[in-house]
Structure 1
Amino acid sequence: MNPDQPESFAEVLTAAIQGRGLSLERIRARLDAAGVPVSIATLSYWQSGRSLPTRSRSYHTLVELERILNLEPGHLTQHTHTADGRTRRELFEWQNVMPSRDLATQIIEDLGIDMQGQLTRVTMHDLLEVDADRKESSLEVRVVWRAERQGLHRWAVVNEQDTDTDGEQSIEPLFGCVLGEVVEAPDRKLLVAEMLAPRPMQRGDLFTSEYRLTFGPSNQPSFRMLRAISDPVKALSLAVRFDPSAVPTNVRAGVQPSLEEEEPADTVPVELARNEAQYVWTDARPGVYSLFWDWD
């Protein structure tokens, strides 16, 4: 560390945890007992510098952390601000793989949805339907979740339609979830929807949710489907079903680190079974996964 630069929050927290000799699990248990529950994932994010406890409710957590770690009052909270006193807004890793990330992030924050440390995707399956005009018509998404904290969980569905359209997209819960507030930005072809679990969950509970996105009429033929993930997923499946009268000449699968890139550098061929194609990744790491296809 450069002695001329102030210590970061992550460095201060890591040093305090090491000095106290406590595991993250023991810290989590003590915070939970004190009435300020925080997941191990969130503590790990803070310790690694992937995120900062900048939300107002995090202040009480930091005060309790200072007590647990035998620190002077304010020792942690002072490091969540820059030298000019402004709260630091570090870019979370999940934002790097989010469509229209600045606008989507603002909408998610306005909805009060915490994207970190609440739920973990265990498996995920996307099925895209492409009609006879070679246009995207709908996307069905099925996710197996694991609850990382006790309570009624919410999550955000973010979708940016890939092709130009004159219509609006819509979202419909199919199983294991309840639709909350929906915010649309038609000029950005962006939809952000609040989804709620069907019941309060205990930590470690597994449950399945399924929903369908229906797209507005498109002005261009479909040529790809994308799925961005910010955390590891045990099994990630992308599938596309084409109308039997409009089947592409080939389909390819690929992975790229972020949405900034137009197309993966390396792709692998995917076999077409009549009018269907699918590719499954196991132990998928954070990134953007895709299927691409070519027409005549």
Structure 2
Amino acid sequence: MLPIGALKPRADRVAALLSALDTSGDAHLIRISQHDRYEYGADRAQHRVWSRQILRADQHGPDRWVTVFYEDEPGAGIPRPHGLRNCRLGRTVTDSDAGVLAAELLFDRPLRQGESVIMEFELRHRHRQVPGPGGSCGRTLRMPTREYVLEAAFHPTALPALCEEFTEPADGGPSAIRQISLDSTGCCHALALNLGPARFGIRWTWEA
């Protein structure tokens, strides 16, 4: 299993942040299911990210999920997580120069061995980023994940011209790319099963 942040940019800075948090339970949380939904407005900027994690403890005691968030674009600010279901924000540490925040999302109580938890949280940006000619979203899966669902939802007046699903294995193997379509609500999705370690995501180019 790779350490938290190992596949992220500025891994050395991330490791320094994580040293101030309790990550002892992370290796004992099995990733059952993860679902991310990214929402984009009429201005093509990212407005909200909603996430749901289903985790299962393989021993008694895990009581938090520790993760890392990045400033997407200079000036956009580092997004902060807000617990929605079965979790609340614990300690956070920030490296403003690197644009990185590490955070604890605390469960309501420690999990027992074999027990699972469904947790939901959202991210909101303090400042809207100025979109470029295209965009991307996704997650670095640093350990095998049974199911990962990724959605990118677009405003009906700002639909992309082309959407692709991509997989980038952590071992440097060849990337896989597949074109995907928008549904009737202006949303596209990608599904990964038993994937990791890898970067998995959706990228797109906007209409002219």
2:180 aligned with 1:248, yes or no? no
- CA deviations on 1:125-151 (whole Å, 9 max, x unpaired) are 000011111111221110000012212
- Partners in 2 of 1:238 and 1:127 — Cα distance? 6
Tell me which amino acid in the other structure corresponds to 1:133. D
Q: Report if the CA contact (8 A) 1:160-1:189 is conserved.
A: yes
- Is contact 1:99-1:159 (8 Å) kept? no
2:189 paired residue number: 278
How far apart in 2 are the matches of 1:260 and 1:160? 23
Residue among 215, 218, 225 paired with 2:137: 225
Secondary structure class of the residue paired with 2:123: strand
**Cα distance in 2, alignment partners of residues 94 and 192 from structure 1:** 10
C-alpha distance 101-260 of structure 1, shift in aligned 2 (>3 A): farther
Instruction: Decide whether the 8 Å contact of 2:70 with 2:79 is kept in 1.
Output: no
- SS at structure 2 position matched to 1:96: coil
- Equivalent runs, 1:18-167 vs 2, <5 Å: 92=2, 94-114=4-24, 116-167=26-77
TM superposition shift of 1:167: 3.4
Matched, 1:192 2:98: no
Matched, 1:295 2:206: yes
TM-score (norm: length of structure 1): 0.63
Query: 1:169 maps to what in 2?
Result: 79
Following superposition, the deviation at residue 119 of structure 1 comes to: 0.9
Q: Once the 2 structures are TM-superposed, how far is the Cα of residue 292 of structure 1 from its aligned partner?
A: 0.5
Q: Which has the larger radius of gyration?
A: 1
State the TM-score, normalized to the length of structure 2: 0.88
SS of the residue 2:61 aligns to: coil
Whichever structure has more strand as a proportion of its residues is: 2
Q: 1:237 to 1:116 in 2, by over 3 A?
A: same
Q: 3-state DSSP class of the match of 2:160?
A: coil
Q: Given that residues 97 and 259 in structure 1 are in contact (C-alpha distance below 8 angstroms), is that contact kept between their aligned partners in structure 2?
A: no
Higher helix share: 1
Query: What is the number of residues matched between the two proteins?
Result: 204
Q: Distance in 2 between matches of 1:166 and 1:160?
A: 10
Q: Which moves more between the two structures, 187-196 or 205-214? A: 187-196
- Structure 1 residue matching 2:97: 3-state secondary structure: helix
- Segments ≥4 residues shifted beyond 6 Å: none
* Higher RCO (C-alpha under 8 Å, 6+ residues apart): 2
Does 2:151 match 1:239? Answer: yes
Unaligned runs of 5+ in 2: none
Aligned to 2:113: 203
Cα separation, 1, equivalents of 2:160 and 2:42: 11
What SS is found at the alignment partner of 1:107? helix
Distance 2:61 2:109 in 1: 8
State percent identity of aligned pairs: 24
Question: Which sections of structure 1, spanning at least 5 residues, go unmatched?
Answer: 1-49, 51-91
**How far has the Cα of 1:259 moved from its partner?**
11
Which amino acid letter does the alignment assign opposite residue 17 of structure 2? Answer: I
Give distance in 2, aligned partners of 1:287 and 1:150.
28
| Distance of aligned partners of 1:171 and 1:281 in 2 relative to their CA distance in 1, 3 Å threshold | same
Match of 1:267 in 2: 177
Report the equivalent of 1:56. Answer: none
When residues 257 and 112 of structure 1 are mapped into structure 2, their CA distance, relative to the original with a 3 A threshold, is same
